[in-house]
Amino acid sequence: MQFTDDFFKAEIKNEFKVEPMLKRMWAATMEVLEAIIEVCDKHDIKYFADWGTMLGAVRHKGFIPWDDDIDICLMRNDYMRLIDALKTDLPHGLVLSGMYSDSKRLQETTYVPHIRVIADNDAWDFNDYMVRFHGFPFQQVGIDIFPIDKLSNDAEKDKQQQQLIQLGITILMNWDYMIENNMLEKQLKIFEKEAGISITKDDKIKNTIWREIDKICMWYNNEDNNDVAEFLWYIDNNKHKYKQQWFSEAIPMKFENMEIMVPKEYDKILSTYYGDYNQFVKFAAGHDFPMYKHMQKELVKNIRATGFRGSVEMFCDLMSKGKLKV
């Protein structure tokens, strides 16, 4: 994917200063997105821009100026098909990470209840990485991919399903604390009993639990129900549920210098997500912004260790063009 030098210059967008490093992250994640889209197109898999990416496409024709990632979502059947396709069809250096990866290392790299496609550190020489990903120096750049599942018509079943998903996530996110306080065995027994499963206690146990949580998300996909949700967000806010037909058709929209598919009923979805989505709300992401903020001091230290004495942006620019190697 080609970008002009001007793309990486700092600029003011909607009264917000977009720094060159953020632009480099945008370009890097767009490279990952392009690879995923190629896999989707090859296998006739329907995907949709999600969350801030959908809003960015609709409202800004690209990234929201204060956003730093790309999210996509798929209906569950397409999500599972995409998992299989990603394992074989991604280009060199990009990998599936998370619970459905075949690698224990990559399973642990993405410790969340969904999948990601990332640039695998083990596959890249840093010099090559910097050229391929437009001088963005923080490795493992990637994209989050979320499944959409049906909800139960029964309020009690819906509540039970949510509580069980939340319990599983709580166990995994507090694993060490529960071990230290002798809580883990009891909580696992509760989870197993309520889910009707037996979990093998081996070195793969955490990933087994992630997969069991994902199975619970699928409990009611065969029911005759029109309500759907992304469970990671639904268990946090029950307002985040939608109608299945809102995701029946995708339309292309401009996103920076590429196109991305957006649900045709984006207005209904975004209104459910955000209310008045044309009203700017800065820094509404679910993580620190920018996500590389905590790594910037270490980056400067590492750059200086190479003997380079110019600015960070000069370093990134030269490396992106192959004019500097370390």
Per-residue model confidence (pLDDT) at position 284: 57
Question: Rounded to an integer, what distance in angstroms lies between the CA atom of residue 121 and that of residue 260?
Answer: 27
Q: Write the CB contacts of 211 (distance below 8 Å, at least 6 apart in sequence).
A: 99, 100
pLDDT of 230-276, one tens digit each?
Answer: 998 899 888 889 999 999 999 999 999 999 999 999 999 999 999 99
Say what percent of the chain tops pLDDT 70: 98
Domains of the chain from N-terminus onward: 5-149+245-320 (3.30.460), 155-219 (no CATH)
What is the CB-side half-sphere exposure of residue 109 using CA atoms within 13 A? 24
Question: Rounded to an integer, what distance in angstroms lies between the CA atom of residue 151 and that of residue 169?
Answer: 19
Under the banding of pLDDT at 50, 70 and 90, the label for residue 35 is very high
Question: Rounded to an integer, what distance in angstroms lies between the CA atom of residue 57 and that of residue 64?
Answer: 8
Per-residue model confidence (pLDDT) at position 6: 96
Tokens (6 digits) for 71:
């999210």
pLDDT of 86-125, one tens digit each?
Answer: 999 999 999 999 999 999 999 999 899 999 999 999 999 9
pLDDT of 199-234, one tens digit each?
Answer: 999 999 999 999 999 999 999 999 999 999 999 889
Per-residue model confidence (pLDDT) at position 179: 97
pLDDT of 116-173, one tens digit each?
Answer: 999 999 999 999 999 999 999 998 899 999 999 999 999 999 999 999 999 999 999 9
* Number of C-beta neighbours around residue 103 at 10 A: 13
Tokens (6 digits) for 181:
């306080």
Per-residue model confidence (pLDDT) at position 285: 59
Residues making up the chain, counted from first to last: 326
DSSP string, 40-108: HHHHT---EE-HHHHHHHHHHSS--TT----EEEEEHHHHHHHHHHHHHHSPTTEEEESTT-S-HHHHH
Task: Give buried/exposed letters for 200-223 (b at 16+ CB in 10 A, else e).
Answer: eeeeeebbebbebbbebbebbbee
pTM of the predicted structure, to 2 decimals: 0.95
Per-residue model confidence (pLDDT) at position 283: 65
Token pair 């507090």 is found at 174
Per-residue model confidence (pLDDT) at position 288: 75
pLDDT of 293-324, one tens digit each?
Answer: 999 999 999 999 999 999 999 999 999 999 99
pLDDT of 281 above 90: no
Per-residue model confidence (pLDDT) at position 239: 84
Question: Rounded to an integer, what distance in angstroms lies between the CA atom of residue 318 and that of residue 74?
Answer: 38
Helix (H) or strand (E) holding 313: helix 312-320
Question: Rounded to an integer, what distance in angstroms lies between the CA atom of residue 127 and that of residue 135?
Answer: 9
Mean pLDDT across 167-195: 97
Mean pLDDT across 32-53: 98
Question: Rounded to an integer, what distance in angstroms lies between the CA atom of residue 151 and that of residue 131?
Answer: 44
